[in-house]
Amino acid sequence: MTLPPFEQVLAAHGAEVHRYLVAGVGPIDADDCFQEVMVAALRAYPGLRDDNLRGWLFRVAYTKAIDAHRGRARRPVPVDEPEPHLAPVAGPEPGADDELWLAVRDLPPMQRAAVLHRFLHDLPYRDIGAVLGCSEAAARQNVRVGLASLRRRVATPEQETA
Amino acid sequence: MNATTDDLEARLRGGPSSTGTGAGEALERFRHRATDEDLVDVAYATMDSPVGELVVAATPTGVVSLAWDDAMLELVAAKVSPRILELPARVDEARRQLDEYFAGTRTRFEVAVDLSLSNGFRREVLRTLSTGVAYGQVVTYGELAERVGNPKASRAVGSAMASNPIPIIVPCHRVVRSGGALGNYSGRDGIVTKRFLLDLEAGSPPLSG
């Protein structure tokens, strides 16, 4: 197979990988994680034997997102300072978006990735399975369980304590 | 319940409202990081010129290709390395010398070239051409064949010119037919560009006074 110049891979998928990481690891960590993804990808690129470049890139992103979550778990979190990028903005439901995406970031890695590929990227389950290295059925199950978990946390947060 | 589900899915589809610093800045940081970690085998940039927009690409060895569109980069990816990024700073010196050449103030290129895209006889011909035929001079295909020690190979010399990966810097425009005809040119606008380059080299300096 012939690999296109890496610049073409960046042009075709750079922005969507970045967006995926903003959704999956948060706006603060997305930048550093993006560097890790692309450096690892560029390092491995000449030896690549996979003509689904997009799927391969998102597999790298999946692994590096897990690393980013581990890194954050080890870091002390400044409780009193909200993440600057998540400062409330004028809108009908200030903060509602933040709550959803914080909940997404709390999902187990497979569920998180499956939910993002299903909705953010509108991928069919077969393709999600291909990216995550699991069966179509397992991809569907991860999306279902992840969504149920999000629904519990986001849709009716008050009822948990009632 | 359904309404809530649909709403949740719609919000997931919409993505987070915050984008962090944005993909553009992250991409710029990545270019620096890739350079620092020595992961870029070929750097390139485009430049304007009187003969059209040019794409200049270089390996750490030297300029590896000069072309009128970036389709050439796919050949570089296949034959040299696909670790190719647009990094203008890495080809600044070559672009500066090309600007000077087109301005008439430079008669000799002093950048290293990397002839990885050619091999065997063709590489030998290009090497001889780049050192042996000075600014403002021309040779015939047959004379160049003679200089590489194979006087009957003028057709092979022609195909070496046609596949020259670094036109202008390796001056294939200085190779013409015996009898005064210009012969072919594989750059954009073919013979028009060849004529332009030969006129540039024959003419009085455009920047007079």
- Rounded to two decimals, what is the model's pTM? 0.82
Residues of B in contact with A150 (CB under 8 A): 8, 12
Residue B59: band (very low, low, confident or very high) from pLDDT cuts 50, 70, 90: very high
Q: Over the stretch A135-145, which tens digit does the pLDDT of each residue have? A: 999 999 999 99
**Could you confirm whether B172 is annotated as catalytic?**
yes
Rounded CA-CA distance B37/B207 in Å is: 42
pLDDT at A13: 92
pLDDT at B98: 97
Residue A87: band (very low, low, confident or very high) from pLDDT cuts 50, 70, 90: very low
Cα→Cα distances B171→A66, B62, B67, B129, B160, Å? 53, 16, 13, 7, 12
The catalytic residue among B153, B172, B197, B198 is: B172
Q: Of A24 and A38, which is predicted with more confidence?
A: A38
Q: Of B186 and B200, which is predicted with more confidence?
A: B200
ipTM: 0.86
pLDDT at B183: 74
Report DSSP letters for B120-131, one per residue: HHHHHHHHHHHH
Please check whether the two domains, A1-87 and A93-156, share a CATH topology: no
The CATH number of A1-87, from 1.10.1740.10, 3.40.630.30, 3.10.450.50, 3.50.50.60, is 1.10.1740.10
C-alpha dihedral (B70, B84, A36, A80), degrees to nearest 10:
-50
Q: Over the stretch A5-19, which tens digit does the pLDDT of each residue have? A: 999 999 999 999 999
* Chain A residue at shortest CA distance from B78: A2
pLDDT of residue B209 exceeding 60: no
Report residue A106 as tokens: 């709390």
Q: Over the stretch B90-121, which tens digit does the pLDDT of each residue have? A: 999 999 999 999 998 999 999 999 999 998 88
Residues of B in contact with A34 (CB under 8 A): 23, 26, 30
User: What proportion of chain B, given as a percentage, has pLDDT over 70?
Assistant: 92
Residue A93: band (very low, low, confident or very high) from pLDDT cuts 50, 70, 90: very low
Average pLDDT of the residues of chain A:
82
pLDDT at A75: 65
Q: In a mutagenesis test of the A interface, which of B8, B9, B12, B81 is the best target, namely the one with the most A β-carbons within 10 Å?
A: B12
- Delimit the domains of chain A by residue range: 1-87, 93-156
Span between the terminal Cα atoms of chain B, in Å: 82
pLDDT at B7: 85
- Delimit the domains of chain B by residue range: 23-103, 120-202
Residue A90: band (very low, low, confident or very high) from pLDDT cuts 50, 70, 90: very low
The CATH number of A93-156, from 3.10.20.740, 1.10.10.10, 1.10.357.10, 3.40.50.2300, is 1.10.10.10
Average pLDDT over residues B183-192: 77
Q: In a mutagenesis test of the A interface, which of B2, B7, B13, B17 is the best target, namely the one with the most A β-carbons within 10 Å?
A: B17
Which residue in B8, B15, B82 is closest to A4 by CB distance?
B82
Order of strands across the sheet that contains B42-47: B63-67, B54-58, B42-47, B84-86
Q: How many beta carbons lie within 10 A of that of residue A154, not counting itself? A: 19
Rounded CA-CA distance A60/A36 in Å is: 9
Tell me the torsion sign for CA atoms A63, A68, A71, A77: negative
Q: Over the stretch B145-182, which tens digit does the pLDDT of each residue have? A: 898 888 888 888 888 888 899 999 999 899 888 877 77
Query: Which CATH class, in words, describes the domain spanning B120-202?
Result: mainly alpha
Query: Which CATH class, in words, describes the domain spanning B23-103?
Result: alpha beta
Q: Cβ distance B128 to B175 under 8 Å?
A: no
pLDDT at A161: 46
Within 13 Å, how many C-alpha atoms sit on residue A110's CB side? Answer: 13
pLDDT at B192: 84
